[in-house]
């Protein structure tokens, strides 16, 4: 089961999906990001250091959330993917548009 | 081949079944003497993508509850094999035409990921069933 830890940061909000981000749990991430954008957050940081596994639905959710963030004048940045997540980002070329940052601080800086 | 290297699970064709499939995969993997984590990542992503494809296809083609599918995981000294079997409608798919989605697309990566991760992926229709065979060399 995936839960998404949400914490405020200086200049953005940090979402940390723990466990697996798959077709089962991707809708929760989409909904959480939509809520935060509706609430006025512009910089969405997805901390993947506690995400053990991502599938194509999880990737689709990240692309969708990136678009939503940019359409609202903001951005979405990934942080510290685990080994499996980094591999899947590379295989799909998504590391080009969702280039992961090493830390939340790096993501907040831009 | 040791008996511990084979594991079979049958689940209803629902989204939630993916969690069951991954739990079974995890238990099967833990019993294997396989050190390469890259091999696990490769086979696991392919297993999840094909399971999700079966679930999605079942719902789109038939829109009904009650369908089930089976996954058999096995290993020998050379290869790891996952075989999915379901009695749903034939899958209208030509694996030779599958390409990776563009980076802006929100879907269309599942089969391409499975193909890229595996050494071979085969789909055939046999005895009124869909049979997907996934192979990773060790």
The CATH number assigned to the domain holding B45 equals: 3.30.565.10
Helix axes A56-71, B37-61, angle to 10 degrees: 80
- Is B71 touching A (CB cutoff 8 A)? no
Q: Tens digit of pLDDT for each residue in A46-71?
A: 999 999 999 999 999 999 999 999 99
How many Å lie between the alpha carbon of A12 and the closest alpha carbon of chain B? 23
Range of B64's domain?
3-137
Q: What average pLDDT does range B41-70 have in this prediction? A: 89
Global pTM?
0.94
Do the chains contact at B52 and A84, CB–CB below 8 Å?
no
Q: Give the span between the Cα atoms of B138 and B135, in whole angstroms.
A: 10
The CATH number of residue A81's host domain is 3.30.750.24
Residues B14, B68: Cα–Cα separation, whole Å: 8
Average pLDDT, chain B: 92
Tell me the pLDDT tens digit for each residue of B9-27. Answer: 999 999 999 999 999 999 9
Q: How many CB atoms lie within 10 A of CB B132?
A: 25
Q: What is the pLDDT of residue B4?
A: 55
Into how many domains does chain A fold?
Answer: 1
**Number of structural domains, chain B?**
1
| Numbers of helices and strands, H then E, in chain B | 3, 5
Q: Does B60 touch chain A (CB under 8 A)?
A: no
Buried-exposed string A72-84: b where 16+ CB fall within 10 A, e elsewhere: eebebbbbbbeeb
A3-12, A31-40, A51-60, B64-73: the lowest-pLDDT one? B64-73
Candidate from B18, B37, B105 with C-beta closest to A23: B18
Task: Give the domain extent around A75.
Answer: 4-109
């Amino acid at each position: 089961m995936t839960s998404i830890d949400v914490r405020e940061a200086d200049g953005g909000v940090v979402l940390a999906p723990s466990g697996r981000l798959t077709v089962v749990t991707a809708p929760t991430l989409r909904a959480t990001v939509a809520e935060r954008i509706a609430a006025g957050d512009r910089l969405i940081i997805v901390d993947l250091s506690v995400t053990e596994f991502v599938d194509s639905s999880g990737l689709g959710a990240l692309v969708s959330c990136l678009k939503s963030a940019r359409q609202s004048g903001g951005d979405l940045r990934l942080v510290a993917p685990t080994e499996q997540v980094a591999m899947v980002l590379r295989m799909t070329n998504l590391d080009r548009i969702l280039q992961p940052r090493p830390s939340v601080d790096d993501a907040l800086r831009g | 081949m040791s008996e511990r290297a084979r594991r079979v699970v049958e689940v209803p064709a629902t989204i939630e079944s993916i969690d069951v499939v991954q739990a079974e995969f995890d238990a099967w993997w833990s019993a294997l003497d396989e050190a390469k984590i890259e091999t696990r990542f490769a086979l696991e992503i392919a297993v999840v993508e094909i399971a999700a494809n079966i679930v999605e296809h079942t719902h789109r083609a038939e829109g009904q509850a009650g369908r089930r599918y089976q996954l058999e995981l096995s290993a020998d000294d050379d290869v790891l094999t996952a075989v999915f079997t379901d009695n749903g409608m034939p899958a209208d798919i030509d694996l030779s035409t599958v390409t990776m989605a563009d980076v802006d697309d929100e879907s269309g990566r599942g089969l391409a990921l499975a193909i890229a991760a595996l050494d071979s992926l085969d789909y055939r229709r046999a005895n009124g069933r869909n049979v997907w065979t996934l192979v990773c060399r060790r």
